[in-house]
Amino acid sequence: MIVPINIKTGTLIQSEIPNQQDIIVGIDLGTTNSLIAYINPQDNLPTIITDEEGNNGLVPSILHFTDNSNWIVGNDARPYLISHPQTTLYSIKRLMGKSYRDIAEHNQLFSYQIIDDDTERLVKIRVNNRFYTPIELSALLLKALKERAETTLQTTISKAVITVPAYFNDAQRQATRDAGKLAGLDVLRIINEPTAAALAYGIGTASDTNTSETIAVYDLGGGTFDVSILRIEEGVFEVLATNGDTFLGGDDIDRAIVQYWITQCPDLGINKSMYRELRLRAEQAKKYVSDNHSTYSHVTQIFEFGTAIILALNPDELRQILLPFIERTLTCCRQALSDAQLTTTEVDKVIMVGGATRTPLIRQKVSELFGKPVYNELNPDEVVALGAAVQADILAGNQRDMLLLDITPLSLGIETMGGLMDVIVPRNSKIPIRAARQYTTQRDGQSGINIAIYQGERDLVKDNRCLGEFVLRGIPAMPAGLPKVEISFTIDADGITRVRATELRSGVAQQIEVKPQYGLSEEEMSQMLLESVRHAQTDRDTRALQEAINEANTLADTADHFIVRHADMLSTDEINLTRDHIAALRQSLSSNDKDLIHTYIETLNTHTRPFAERVMDAAVAMAMKGKQALSNDILE
Ligand code: ADP
Ligand code: MG
């Protein structure tokens, strides 16, 4: 390595001192709170990066714009939630990779302005007179985290691992990656939050000697609940199932406490800003009672028209409020287990993630469900960032390199003749993956093929979701059926999908990165799966019919061609009769009866078979004659 020297002073330029290894940070970009962590070279332990004073590891994912070009992030932005709701943004993660249509029914959750002029495209947020995409806003959060790390560690940070929920689809993962890029970070990998949590506990790392284990990760954050069942085999992570509720978290508990207080003091005159104040008080009360379990009750005072109103929360009241929420999360856990076809006894470890799991009652109920103590030694709101730092360390080559494996939630494929879905990467395939299939052209001299990419389980593409489309152009003129077009799908470790079409004879190729126009919510995904099961029989029938129609069309076209090309070898009667059979076959298509169509296909085939033989014989005879002529030539 060349060490730059300052010519004037003759000293080494500090930042370029050799052996100073690049620090790769791990980032938990959360809905409510975000954190940044690294492996401390002194003790080799994952460590949350605090601010310069050494406090506040948690950075609230809140962004307040003081004007168009100035903003503040985190704790400093928090007070503006109440005073400036229009210019103070929160829960941005919910909008990542989403269209307005995706979030329309939850619009009231956001106090800021989400633009709804185009329901299909990715959402934008209006602040003052400017429009921001969720990617830009997330980038501002990431930038603040990056700067925090740079100030505290006194070095530049340019590489990161960022975590996302296990159910995030391609659009959401890509959006997260783009946000990192925009913040000046080289995002080495996007990893799943439950995977990170497991890594933080050393599960699946080189020091873990268990060869195979099944773990459940229970993550109750501020606004969302996720449970994931993972299998870890020799350092390979596989998501067996995920479940959850995207609208269930600590915030809902806070709202329920406010509701409880309102019923307690019916005279409380509630307006919007007072409600927000009450919510903050409710969160304080919840945390207080959680942390000082069973001994204290929390008392808060708020003032209305100069009169003090006393609001209280004791452990028993909190327990009553919590129970229905906990039950909902346990239902999701049972569902995830049943999807993974596992019983609670087959789960080796249960990891608690998310600030809301600091509440002892939640830990207790989860532990009861799984029949074993839960892992909660690490701070549940820090564990994801810590694990991201471990993954960063693995990527830096400091630990045995491990592949992090995930699965595709839905099948991927392309549209073929008649609008049929041709699956290339089946649902639940392990990623990274490359899968390919060969196709050919339908028409003579066809120079382009349209490739439409779909995601879903239904047999007809119209029932699935289009992810993108492109045209492979420049195929050299060849008779139909001769070009060999290979369509390959490559899904990398981040779940980003690339589709490539190559005409193998000529080498003409075209590739696109699939960036879905808008995201797919968890509900939509399960909806799609459900539909595919419900329509399985009709889908099979539709597919069989469509395949018969495709076969009939190809055969009719070929036969048409044949009688024109070989008219000299056929009698007029033969030609006319063939025309009749072709017409009858085409006629049969409108019957929508696949058996009938097959009968006509068979009839036409039987009728033309002798002609084909005749042509073959003639061709052979010609070839022989050619050979003879050739040998004569030589002889003479
Ligand atoms: P996210 O993953 O959504 O970014 P976190 O994991 O940081 O969120 O969890 C935030 C939630 O945890 C908030 O609803 C907060 O009120 C709750 N929380 C934090 N500390 C405690 C505590 N001591 N007791 C109960 N809930 C808590
Ligand atoms: Mg979280």
- Distance (Å, whole) CA 376 – CA 382: 11
Ligand 2 centroid – CA 294 distance (Å): 27
Nearest ligand by distance to the CA of 194: 2
Give the pLDDT confidence of 288-336 residue by residue, as tens digits. Answer: 999 886 667 778 777 766 677 788 999 999 999 999 999 999 999 999 9
Percent of the chain exceeding pLDDT 90 equals 48
Decide whether 24-201+381-395 matches 205-377 in CATH topology. Answer: yes
- Does residue 432 have a cis bond before it (omega within 30 degrees)? yes
Nearest CA to ligand 1 atom 16: 250
**Nearest ligand 1 atom to alpha carbon 33:** 4
Residue owning tokens 């929508």: 592
CATH number of the domain located at residue range(s) 412-521 in this protein: 2.60.34.10
Between residues 491 and 141, the one the model is more confident about: 141
Mean pLDDT of 417-444: 85
Catalytic site positions: 28, 93, 193, 219
| pLDDT category of residue 401 using cuts at 50, 70 and 90 | very low
Residues, the chain: 636
- Whether 204 and 237 have beta carbons less than 8 Å apart is answered as yes
Best residue among 33, 318, 379 to mutate for probing ligand 1's pocket (most ligand atoms within 8 Å of CB) is 33
- Distance (Å, whole) CA 550 – CA 553: 5
Is CATH 3.10.620.30 the right assignment for the domain spanning 24-201+381-395?
no
Sign of CA dihedral 50, 54, 59, 65: negative
Between residues 195 and 429, the one the model is more confident about: 195
**Nearest ligand 1 atom to alpha carbon 354:** 6
**Nearest ligand 1 atom to alpha carbon 250:** 14
Ligand 1 centroid – CA 554 distance (Å): 62
Residue 558, H or E segment = helix 536-565
| Predicted local distance difference test score (pLDDT) of residue 9 | 40
Task: Tell me which of 41-50, 170-179, 207-216, 414-423 is least confident.
Answer: 207-216
| Predicted local distance difference test score (pLDDT) of residue 511 | 84
Ligand 1 centroid – CA 352 distance (Å): 12
| pLDDT category of residue 135 using cuts at 50, 70 and 90 | very high
| pLDDT category of residue 35 using cuts at 50, 70 and 90 | very high
Between residues 531 and 77, the one the model is more confident about: 77
Task: Tell me which of 162-176, 368-382, 483-497 is least confident.
Answer: 483-497
Ligand 1 centroid – CA 213 distance (Å): 28
Nearest CA to ligand 1 atom 22: 287
The domain ranges of the chain are 24-201+381-395, 205-377, 412-521, 538-635
Nearest CA to ligand 1 atom 2: 221
Nearest ligand by distance to the CA of 251: 1
**DSSP assignment letter at 122:** B
Nearest ligand by distance to the CA of 62: 1
Best residue among 381, 382, 386 to mutate for probing ligand 1's pocket (most ligand atoms within 8 Å of CB) is 381
- Whether 329 and 308 have beta carbons less than 8 Å apart is answered as no
Q: What is the pTM of this model?
A: 0.66
How many CA atoms does the CB half-sphere of 293 hold within 13 Å? 9
- 350-379 burial, b if ≥16 CB within 10 A, otherwise e? bbbbbbbbbbbebbebbbebbeeebbbebb
> May I ask the CATH class of domain 538-635?
mainly alpha
**DSSP assignment letter at 79:** T
Architecture of domain 205-377: 2-Layer Sandwich (3.30)
**Nearest ligand 1 atom to alpha carbon 223:** 3
Ligand 2 centroid – CA 219 distance (Å): 7
For residue 634, pLDDT over 50 is answered with: no
Nearest ligand by distance to the CA of 224: 1
Ligand 1-lining residues (CB < 6 angstroms):
30-33, 221-223, 249-251, 283, 286-287, 290-291, 354-356, 358-359, 381
Give the pLDDT confidence of 231-282 residue by residue, as tens digits. Answer: 987 777 888 889 999 889 999 999 999 999 988 887 777 777 788 888 889 9
**Nearest ligand 1 atom to alpha carbon 224:** 3
What does 200-261 look like in DSSP terms, one character per residue?
HTTTTSTT---SEEEEEEEEE-SS-EEEEEEEEETTEEEEEEEEEETT-SHHHHHHHHHHHH
